[in-house]
Chain A
Amino acid sequence: MNYLDLPKPATLILDAGGNIEHISSSTCELLGYQPAELQSLNWIDICVPPLFQIKTKRIFDAVLSGKKDLPDQIIFPVLSKSGDQHLFSWHSEPRFDASGRAIGSITTGIAIPEDAVKQENSYLQTAARNQAVLDNAIEAIISTNNRGIITHANKTTESILGYKPNELLGKRITCLIPMNIISDCAREIRFHMQSTDTNTVINREVEARHKDGRKIPVELTVTEITIGGTFSFTGIMRDISERKLSEARLKKSKEEVQQARDRLTQMDRLHLASEMSAGLAHELNQPLSAISMYAQGCHNLLNNSELDRHKLSNTLLRIDTQAQRAGEIIRNIRALMERQELHHQLTDINTLIRSTIELAEEDYECRAIDFECIFSHSLPQVEIVYGQIQQVLLNLIRNACDAMIAIPVEEKSISIISEQYSDSFIKVSVRDRGSGIDIQHRDKIFQNFFSTKNSGMGMGLAISYSIITSHGGVMDINPEYSDGAEFFFTLPIMTNLRKPSHGE
């Protein structure tokens, strides 16, 4: 009786498009493929002989759409890698996601030995085949009678719920599934039976009880089966703990990404704010110190034995002037901030570079460095958000300073070059004499959080890059410059705004 020596059944998990999600290794071996070779390929296109493809596709679609009148077993040949055909008996079940949408199929197949083909209708073989199909399903499949007593359980039940199939026979289904869910399902099935003729399939995610008491999240599909006028039910339970876990992980990582993004935005804002407040603090300190000293001076004058009224009144006027100066600074800053959010302004890039160098020289580290400006004059103006481009340039200068931290003061030098790049772009380059950029970092250097500095956040270049991009320019490294690092960015020229002196 060679059908009792059935070869290992093939298991095949396909997605809704018929692409292979999983195929058992023994099947691969039989067909002459490496397991990885078939991953994600289309089963019907690759492994079904052309003659059978259309029919197979039709059956596959019928399985997915949940048709119930399909034959239990379908016999189809399969193509091996070398082109040989093997006859298999197939059984397919649809797989659903939480919302009840079909997401593919689970298919099991038994290779039919050449000499057994003739006996394919034999009852025994069919029964064995069915059992094999059930036992090799990745779902626990449990049938009950209409009173909820378990009449059958497949092998997989043990791996999911811990019970051997025989242990469950005669027990109530409520030992596996909580009572409230069972009565819920029963109510729904009864309701459907009264209203429609079609078979009812209930699909939901529930927690089943493992033999050891653990709660296992499963996807439960309940169908009712009528045999000879009596109802019975089959429940198919798929272990979704993995999926739940990965869902939880996904949710967590999504939250982390969001948090990182929030941090990023906040840091960007902080960066701007700290930059601005440092400048503001210094600017305001000047008149405030002057006011404070004048005021103390007036106080001293009043305490002197002889009151110099002229000097006193003169100093009071100066206090007033200084207060006006402070007010003016605040007005300017406010105007600057408004402009920064809204307006592009026509700018001479060389002026911007000069004012940025002055700003950079306020940094202690930048002060000792020799700045060399190689300006192309008669450059057309560019329409830019002044503060943003200034921030980009400032950032490049600071990076250049940091890159030269280890070299002797007299060798420290930063060159800033402005030039016409093409008809429609100008280019600004910043060169340092540091150790240069490792070519392997070139692709990563503009990414967030990438930094070669010990204390770097890896934010500066990423922000700069996005500022330049939003201006329609590009930012990159010049790989040919070898005395250090050269960063450059380009900015588009508004063609109608070119100086008349430029061009022919």
Chain B
Amino acid sequence: MESKNIVYIVDDDPDVLDATCMLLESTGLETQRFNSAMSFLNSINQNSQGCIVLDVRMPNMSGLKLQSEIMRREICLPIIFITGHGDVPMAVEAMKNGALEFFQKPFRDQEFIDCVYGALDINQQSLNNLNRVHSIQRRLATLTKREQQIMQYMTEGHITKVIADKLAISPRTVETHRARVMEKMQAKTLAQLIHMVMET
């Protein structure tokens, strides 16, 4: 379930917008351009993947306002700011709110490109994490109630005999359940199983 990595670029200056897209596309990235905060918000959702490049100074809704709106909508894409002003308090506010980087025009293009790639990596990583968690959760959902009980005791470090005593069943039955849990959770070792349970 690999979704596309897109760089979303929001800038009210059409020339700068075009140049930014062209630059990123020339490195093989896919971009989507928006000339206002509103048009961007209308087309993005929580499933969007990639990163966002925002111009700070835009009419109607500034980059900073857009940033808080993006966070309010729980869209977790990394944000890179571009500004024409050397506006320190604005940069501080943006970074405090979790912006990845703050570029002042004119900037070094290569640094900008590297930063965009970095942002995409970060997004990919969190996406991978998310996916893994999702798949573990799916596997957990396949366990029966008894198997969940057994797994609980296993991850707490109890040996088969103890588990059998606690549940008042035969050690042999416990062994069978253990094997099923390991199989369903796709864990090769007990350590792997514990790791998975910790992650969810």
Contact = CB atoms under 8 A, between A and B. Distances in A.
Given A282-B85, A362-B57, A362-B85, A289 B26 contact: no
A296 B110 contact: yes
A321 B25 CA distance: 20
A290 B15 contact: yes
Given A301-B26, A315-B22, A292 B15 contact: no
Given A289-B105, A362-B85, A294 B22 contact: yes
B26 A285 contact: no
A286 B23 contact: no
Contacts of A298: 26
Contacts of A315: 22
Interface string A289-330: 111111111111100100000000001001001100100000
B84 A322 contact: no
A288 B105 contact: yes
Contacts of B18: 290, 318
Contact of B15 (A282, A297, A325): A325
Contact of B109 (A293, A362, A364): A293
B61 to A, nearest CB: 11
Contacts of B87: 364
Contacts of B23: 293-294, 296-297, 300
A293 B17 CA distance: 10
Given A293-B22, A294-B23, A318-B18, A285 B84 contact: yes
Given A296-B109, A298-B26, A301-B26, A289 B16 contact: yes
Interface string B96-123: 0000000001110110110000000000
B27 interface: yes
Given A282-B84, A285-B84, A290-B19, A297 B57 contact: no
Contacts of B90: 364
28 contacts: A281-B84, A282-B85, A285-B84, A285-B106, A288-B105, A288-B106, A289-B82, A289-B105, A289-B106, A289-B107, A290-B15, A290-B16, A290-B19, A291-B19, A292-B109, A293-B16, A293-B20, A293-B109, A294-B22, A296-B109, A296-B110, A297-B25, A300-B23, A300-B27, A318-B18, A318-B22, A321-B15, A364-B87
B62 interface: yes
A380 interface: no
Contacts of A290: 13, 15-16, 18-19
A367 interface: yes
Nearest to B13: A286
A431 to B, nearest CB: 24
B62 to A, nearest CB: 6
A322 B22 contact: no
Nearest to A287: B15
A297 to B, nearest CB: 4
The 8 closest A-B pairs by CB, nearest first: A296-B109, A300-B26, A290-B19, A297-B26, A293-B19, A293-B23, A297-B23, A289-B105
A299 B23 CA distance: 9
A285 B82 CA distance: 11
> Which residue, A288, A291, A298, A364, has most C-beta atoms of chain B within 10 A?
A364
Nearest to B14: A290
Contacts of A367: 62
Interface in B1-20: 13, 15-16, 18-20
Given A293-B16, A296-B26, 20 more contacts: A282-B85, A287-B15, A288-B105, A289-B19, A289-B105, A290-B16, A292-B107, A292-B109, A294-B19, A294-B22, A297-B19, A297-B23, A297-B25, A297-B26, A300-B23, A300-B27, A318-B18, A322-B15, A325-B15, A364-B89
Nearest to B20: A293
Interface in A26-63: none
Nearest to B107: A289
Nearest to A308: B26
Contacts of B19: 289-294, 297, 318, 322
A338 to B, nearest CB: 26
A292 B15 CA distance: 12
Contacts of B85: 282, 362
A148 B47 CA distance: 113
Nearest to A298: B26
> Which residue, B57, B62, B106, B112, has most C-beta atoms of chain A within 10 A?
B106
Nearest to A319: B19
Contacts of A304: 26
A295 B106 CA distance: 13
Contacts of A297: 19, 22-23, 25-26
A485 to B, nearest CB: 25
Interface string A345-367: 00000000000000000101001
Interface in A250-301: 281-282, 285-301
A286 B16 contact: yes
A301 B110 CA distance: 14
Interface in A160-215: none
Contacts of A295: 109
A300 B110 CA distance: 10
A195 B19 CA distance: 95
Nearest to B89: A364
B15 A286 contact: yes
> Which residue, B16, B89, B107, has most C-beta atoms of chain A within 10 A?
B16
A287 B19 CA distance: 10
Contacts of B15: 286-287, 290, 318, 321-322, 325
A293 B113 CA distance: 10
Interface string B42-60: 0000000000000001000
Interface in B73-102: 82, 84-85, 87, 89-90
Contacts of A285: 84, 105-106
Interface in A399-425: none
Nearest to B109: A296
A281 to B, nearest CB: 8
A294 B22 CA distance: 7
A407 to B, nearest CB: 18
Interface in A363-414: 364, 367
A297 B23 CA distance: 4
A304 B27 CA distance: 8
Nearest to B104: A285
